[in-house]
Structures are given as C-alpha cells and as structure tokens.
Amino acid sequence: MMDPFDRRLLEAIQQGLPITPRPYAAIAERLGIQEAELIERLAVLRRQGLIKRLGVIVRHRPLGYTANAMIVLDVPDRLVAQIGGHVSRFGFVTLCYRRPRHGEQWPYNLYCMIHGKSRGRVLQQFQQLSDSCGLRQFPGEVLFSRRCFKQRGALYRSCHGGDRALPI
C-alpha cells in the first residue's frame, strides 16, 4: 500500500499544476511542506514509475484525433508479454494493457488503443502494427468509438471525501 504522505502529495498534484511562476511552491504550501521537499519527492515518484510521466496532458478529440480504435486480441498467455511489449513500442499506440478474458463471449486478453485523425489512417496504422508484430495469427476485433458520453481526467473519491483526478 502506498505511503500516506505520497498519497496526499499525489492527491494534491493530480488536478494539475497551477499556471503561475512557482507552481510547486503553491502546492507545497497547501501540503504544509517545503517546495524543495515536494520537488524532491516528485522526482523519486517519477523515477519509481508511480508517476508514469509528468507534463502536458493533451485531449485528443479537440486536437482533431477523432478516430479512436480499441483493438482487442486473443493472444496465447505464453506470448502475451512479448507481443504486448512489441506493440507498445509503436508511437501511435497510446495504451497497451493485458486484461482478463471472459469465457467464449469475450476471449480477448490484449488491448491497445490507436488515436488518429481519420478512420482510414488508424486502420493503416493497425495494418502496420499487425505486419510488424505478427498479429494476424490471433483472433481480434477493432472497436471504433462512436459517441462520447463522458471524458475527463479520471476521478476517484478519496477516503476523506471529495473528488480527485487520477489519470488512467
């Protein structure tokens, strides 16, 4: 389980840094710690991978990336780590996760996302991915998004109440 201090720190920063000259000082003040202490701890969390990255979080749709495909594949368990590692190295793949199968109705265990400016471009990229990673041998489906009902930086309700942003 995560250190309670780190948890407080992530809760304080996950809504985003203020766009003011000393953003870390502003957050440190809220936490009642020194600016240098906050910066140092964030560097540790980033090194440890708990913070996967720190920076500008872009929103795809307003930037014209309206074609959003979730690709699901049924990859034998003994191969999934290797294939997943290979797939995730392509710059246009935004996520690559293993998830549990659900019997015959949903036999897929490997998921990746491609965001593109057109459906045609996304399918082209998927073809490139399939050729490079040998994906054609695996059963799979491409699910394009249609309507977006809700989209925001993920929120979770902390034990102390209140909403917190948590990117996924």
Partner 1 sequence: MLNELQKRLLNDYQRDFPLSSQPYRDIAAELGVAEAEVLTALQYLIDQGYISRVGPVIAPNRVGSSALVAMRVPPERLQQVAEWISRFPEVNHNYEREHHYNLWFVLIASDRQHLQAVLDEIEKQTAVPAMQLPMLTDYGIDLGFELDWNDGSV
Total Cβ atoms within 10 A of residue 163: 10
Nearer to partner 1, 32 or 149 (CB): 149
Binding residue for partner 1, selected from 5, 76, 128, 154, defined by CB under 8 A: 154
**Site pattern 84..123 for partner 1 (x: CB under 8 A):** xx-xx--xxxxxxxxxx-x---x----x---x-x------
**Site pattern 44..83 for partner 1 (x: CB under 8 A):** -xx--xxxxxxxxxxxx-xxx---x-x---------xx--
Pairing between strand 155-157 and 110-116?
Answer: unpaired
> What does the alpha-carbon distance between residue 37 and residue 39 come to, in Å, rounded to a whole number?
6
Tokens of 57: 């979080």
Q: Which of 19, 38, 40, 42 is nearest to 30 (CA)?
A: 38
Nearer to partner 1, 16 or 137 (CB): 16
31 by Cβ neighbours in 10 Å (0-12 / 13-18 / 19+) ranks as: middle
Restricting to residues 15-44, name those near partner 1 by CB under 8 A. Answer: 15-17, 19-25, 35, 39, 42-43
Shortest distance in whole angstroms from residue 26 CB to partner 1 = 11
Nearer to partner 1, 14 or 130 (CB): 14
CA contacts within 13 A on the Cβ side of 142: 18
Q: Is 140 an interacting residue with respect to partner 1 (CB under 8 A)? A: no
Q: Is 141 an interacting residue with respect to partner 1 (CB under 8 A)? A: yes
Amino acid sitting at position 8: R
